[in-house]
Structure 1
């Protein structure tokens, strides 16, 4: 936001405080119209604030129709903007109590710190005698009212996306109130959103040590450990919480989630089933059970669980997307009609709409109705992208920084930790890495694990020093490099089953090849590569659980692919012969030849089981889990072709025009 825009906004806010509502409407309208005519450029944040201020002014002038129109437009642009929903609630208060309640509820979902919205909901729940909802509502009100004002303000700012302002307030508060638990938890949550994971982990670990009876701190710590892929640690925290609260439903669910992460699927399934025996009306648990069963390979049971979830919550988008995400499930016309009904209902939550659009895209693509399919993929991606703060230029700069930081002379095979155990499979999502993992995991000397977060964690821990990562890696002494390599090997032991070698299939590790070869010089690195149009469009169709923010725009994903290609070319240049590129199409066309090539690179003898990879029983948690449990097939090639007329932006970004 430039200074002139800031000054204009402050001027308009003063007019609002002075009750000059008509002047606010005139000023905001003029600025928005200038931008609409191309006479000026407004940042997204300024546009959002102008529309919000205009709506407030309209409401205060009792022009509820105009206010509602502005707010609906605002929510089309920014579908997760909590204050816009709160304003809608106030607009509907005197005309439509049901819409008012729904709007206030949506506001609290996107910003749980909006105390005034909670207070309005409290009135609704009292009137309607919704006792359970009222109890939860009053619990949140009591919590917010108990927070010191600076922390309440910082919490509000965090949920509004103003992370740096929230961080400053929180840090100032902690200077004056050392080790305040709520401040420590809030600063950790801000750290997670800023992706400063090592700082957040340290804060939450410290908070749990200082306040061992604070279950909110333990829950936050467990959640972060799971997010970072540290499932053994997360399971240990969950076990401690369960000892303190043996009847807690949420603790049991958290433990089961951690156990799935560790690979102890049977124990997790047992927990989920017992929870459903107590109460079958738990749709989110049915979905979680489905995920566990799918990872195990019990596809039919997983599908039944997902379908059961929709019986208890017809609008639960995650259940429909989970069905689609098996990649083998086909929706019939009844299912498609039902999903279309749910996605168009105004009361359907944003997150559910996103999931439903992606599921509908898959459903219509399977039935050959490509225009409908693309429309839903496009809507789902657009909604998802609006909830993210992603800038492809920043990512391109980060990948260029890796190229500037490492040259051929920076790598010493004698430095670092000498373990030859890890085999890294890197690349873009949906590029065939799960197939390569399954092939290698079928070898008697190789353990398949999962997408491990440990390299990302080490990179994050190096990010906040005087010299930023990756430029500080080459300054590390040999013993420091060795310590980091040893830390990686120690941290990943929990996922291994005793084989001499193991696979780390985190695709994003392609960014950190330089770091990997510095700390683990004998590690093998395989780059899973797929035709750019197939790879990018497959990523565009995929709703990822987290991360991969580049995948929700055709231009973004195309630019990301080009930046990835450029960086991989750099690694080949500075690490000659140490990265093996495996083209997905080559594997499909010559399985035996490529398997022998891969095994030779990994210094493994040939085993027939690698050709019969689909018979290998193991836990697989990626979207391709069902596909790699089948023999090689080629139907995934050129799936973008029926959508070609919609993919000009992708072609341009890739340079394929």
Structure 2
């Protein structure tokens, strides 16, 4: 049957809403039930149950309305409007206590539901709950001060309808371009959609308009920390602490910025002060644990992580942080607790994902590889569904780099950048051994280790821009590398050196170990022609599976599906072959397996490549004391061990999809 003549589900839902508005409740219910038989999308079914319940309440068939809304909540217990509707049904059934519970759940899920707050104020009055009346009234007053468009944006944001929220917010700001609250909302949407450069610009602009706007500066501060711009973050937190000196979240933000700047002792002291002021917040203990781990005080870090889950048994990040030390071994009780929490229906998605990854590590350590893979697979499937990664878009980016970064480009523009030798870029795939290479080189007296710096990725993002013309599916970057003002290359190089200075100490050379920079070797070559680039490579199965069982903080969305990670590895190899063709001798490939087999030879090879004399400290890298922020921090504080190179073989029976993509028999 041809469905082209059938009205869309959206138009049918709108016609049902009109039936309800014109009090044709029976007809509305009839049409909903007819549509339910046809519809296949769970979200459409949820909308239909909602409309049925509303129509039944208006028709005063209250037991049926309650039954319908409960059917909806079985499908989605966190549907804020459904909980609100249940509140109204309970109110009509003269069940005030149940109504309060439902309305409170609704506003917890979506604090912008005006009708729920209004109902709660009345119910609190009837029960003489003075404190709750004031709290609800304050919140309602805030909402009522918002322009109607921004109130709608707030509701859509809490319902996860970000693109619709963005559309309305942008339209509002076109007519109200100096509205700081509107700018903050659009920035929050941008952060959720990972359009960080837009969000950063919006918040900086909002603060120019209103320097005393606490919320705008707080959002800006947290975004800067997320982007690794710790120096600016440390500056931004000071006015907040002047305005609110007792605000613990601002103190935590300052400590996070200090951690990023390498001022770890000061950061730990501040984290400890916050915990001393309030030791009941699991997140405070977690942050302290991260700082202690960075410094290498692993036992104290473990104690902080354990304190975090003791305060909140469902706190997935605490368990995952323990697993992510790579050296911690979970007890029987801890494993049982993690499994119990996974079955908690109210568990937040991120907690559930973290618990699956942590449980996978616990079982792998116990050599129960079947159960370990099952847990890793569950965590990966949830994360993959959540992040919506599309491997074809990355493959398109690789294609565009190969198409536009030609020998002619480097011949014509290869000598325009900043001629300084300072940076050493260590790049490749995550979990390929880049932290080990950094630790080796940073053990040399002439080299500073830093961290995974976001500067090149940020520059590429700015060059790429957001808009695509309708006739051209390609992004502006890297195509525009052949066209932009030649003076920009030196300026970009100087900007990189200036912005990264804050992470360096006194050595003449420093390392940027952002693995994803392999996509931008052409850009690096144009802005910093004398930079040294080392490709940390690891055998395909070991590298890909190590990525699959790692839950990354951000930025490695390809790693949560075996086929995607295999295709990503293949695209990486294809691009590295291209760079070696168009920039011969410019990139040194160091295989992890060669480091494991013959450390000293590979150390000498790397030092020759970057132009440094041999120092024994590079071979004795595990004795070097420095702050390390990556998951491998504890592993590189130990001598080289060979066992990790073949760990994937324990899971070989489950890795068929990966082997197929990698063309491995």
Same fold, TM-score > 0.5, yes or no? yes
Aligned to 1:606, the other structure's residue is in SS state coil
Q: Which residue of 2 aligns with 1:38?
A: none
Per-residue deviation at 1:335? 0.9
Does residue 452 (structure 1) correspond to residue 456 (structure 2)? The answer is: no
Q: Which residue of 2 aligns with 1:14?
A: 15
Which blocks of at least 5 consecutive residues in structure 2 are unaligned?
21-27, 57-63, 469-474
| TM-score normalised per structure 1 | 0.90
Cα separation, partners in 2 of 1:24 and 1:206, compared to 1, 3 Å: same
Cα separation, partners in 2 of 1:516 and 1:135, compared to 1, 3 Å: farther
CA distance in 1, matches of 2:532, 2:399: 23
Does the 8 Å contact 1:452/1:505 carry over to 2? yes
Cα separation, partners in 2 of 1:645 and 1:216, compared to 1, 3 Å: same
Q: Which residue of 1 aligns with 2:655?
A: 647
Per-residue deviation at 1:396? 1.8
Q: Which residue of 1 aligns with 2:471?
A: none
Does residue 622 (structure 1) correspond to residue 630 (structure 2)? The answer is: yes
Q: Which moved more, 1:506-515 or 1:554-563?
A: 554-563
Per-residue deviation at 1:123? 8.4
Per-residue deviation at 1:571? 1.3
Q: Which residue of 2 aligns with 1:566?
A: 574
Q: Which residue of 1 aligns with 2:148?
A: 149
The higher radius of gyration belongs to 2
Q: CA RMSD in A?
A: 3.0
Q: Which residue of 2 aligns with 1:207?
A: 206
Does the 8 Å contact 1:71/1:88 carry over to 2? no
CA distance in 1, matches of 2:252, 2:506: 29
CA distance in 1, matches of 2:154, 2:641: 50
Q: Which residue of 2 aligns with 1:578?
A: 586
Q: Which moved more, 1:642-651 or 1:576-585?
A: 642-651
Per-residue deviation at 1:406? 0.8
CA distance in 2, matches of 1:126, 1:480: 65
CA distance in 1, matches of 2:361, 2:627: 24
Does residue 604 (structure 1) correspond to residue 612 (structure 2)? The answer is: yes
Give per-residue Cα distances to partners, 1:596-632, cap 9 Å, x unaligned.
1111111111111100111111111100000000000
Q: Which residue of 2 aligns with 1:391?
A: 390
CA distance in 1, matches of 2:347, 2:399: 41
CA distance in 2, matches of 1:107, 1:553: 34
Per-residue deviation at 1:218? 0.6
Give per-residue Cα distances to partners, 1:555-614, cap 9 Å, x unaligned.
222222222221222111211111111111111111111111111111111111100111
Give per-residue Cα distances to partners, 1:250-281, cap 9 Å, x unaligned.
11111111111111111111111112222221
Q: Which residue of 2 aligns with 1:217?
A: 216
CA distance in 2, matches of 1:330, 1:54: 48
Per-residue deviation at 1:648? 2.1
Cα separation, partners in 2 of 1:3 and 1:102, compared to 1, 3 Å: farther
Q: Which residue of 2 aligns with 1:297?
A: 296
CA distance in 2, matches of 1:345, 1:95: 31
Does the 8 Å contact 1:423/1:502 carry over to 2? yes
Cα separation, partners in 2 of 1:480 and 1:135, compared to 1, 3 Å: farther
Does residue 438 (structure 1) correspond to residue 446 (structure 2)? The answer is: no
Does residue 373 (structure 1) correspond to residue 372 (structure 2)? The answer is: yes
1:542 alignment partner, one of 550, 561, 564? 550
Does the 8 Å contact 1:67/1:91 carry over to 2? no
2:45 alignment partner, one of 45, 48, 51? 51
Per-residue deviation at 1:131? 9.4
Matches for 1:240-319 after TM superposition, within 5 Å: 240-319=239-318
Residues matched between the structures, number: 638
CA distance in 1, matches of 2:623, 2:96: 58
Q: Which moved more, 1:282-291 or 1:156-165?
A: 156-165
Per-residue deviation at 1:419? 1.4
Does the 8 Å contact 2:536/2:591 carry over to 1? yes
Q: Which moved more, 1:3-12 or 1:260-269?
A: 3-12
Does the 8 Å contact 1:197/1:460 carry over to 2? no
Per-residue deviation at 1:202? 1.8
Does the 8 Å contact 2:73/2:79 carry over to 1? no
Per-residue deviation at 1:22? 3.1
Cα separation, partners in 2 of 1:596 and 1:207, compared to 1, 3 Å: same
CA distance in 2, matches of 1:95, 1:68: 18
Does residue 636 (structure 1) correspond to residue 641 (structure 2)? The answer is: no
CA distance in 2, matches of 1:271, 1:495: 20
Does residue 321 (structure 1) correspond to residue 320 (structure 2)? The answer is: yes
Give per-residue Cα distances to partners, 1:63-89, cap 9 Å, x unaligned.
6556545554457xxxx8766776788
CA distance in 2, matches of 1:310, 1:136: 30
Per-residue deviation at 1:228? 1.3
Aligned to 1:380, the other structure's residue is in SS state helix
Q: Which residue of 2 aligns with 1:35?
A: none
Give per-residue Cα distances to partners, 1:370-424, cap 9 Å, x unaligned.
2221222122222222322322222221222222221112114421111111111
CA distance in 2, matches of 1:373, 1:50: 36
Per-residue deviation at 1:511? 1.1
CA distance in 1, matches of 2:222, 2:248: 15
Aligned to 2:448, the other structure's residue is in SS state strand
Does the 8 Å contact 1:51/1:74 carry over to 2? no
Cα separation, partners in 2 of 1:617 and 1:211, compared to 1, 3 Å: same
Does the 8 Å contact 2:442/2:448 carry over to 1? yes
Q: Which moved more, 1:404-413 or 1:106-115?
A: 106-115
CA distance in 1, matches of 2:97, 2:598: 61
CA distance in 1, matches of 2:100, 2:48: 22
Does residue 471 (structure 1) correspond to residue 479 (structure 2)? The answer is: yes
Does the 8 Å contact 1:481/1:519 carry over to 2? yes
CA distance in 2, matches of 1:347, 1:131: 29
Which blocks of at least 5 consecutive residues in structure 1 are unaligned?
33-46
Does residue 511 (structure 1) correspond to residue 505 (structure 2)? The answer is: no
CA distance in 2, matches of 1:529, 1:364: 28
Per-residue deviation at 1:515? 1.0
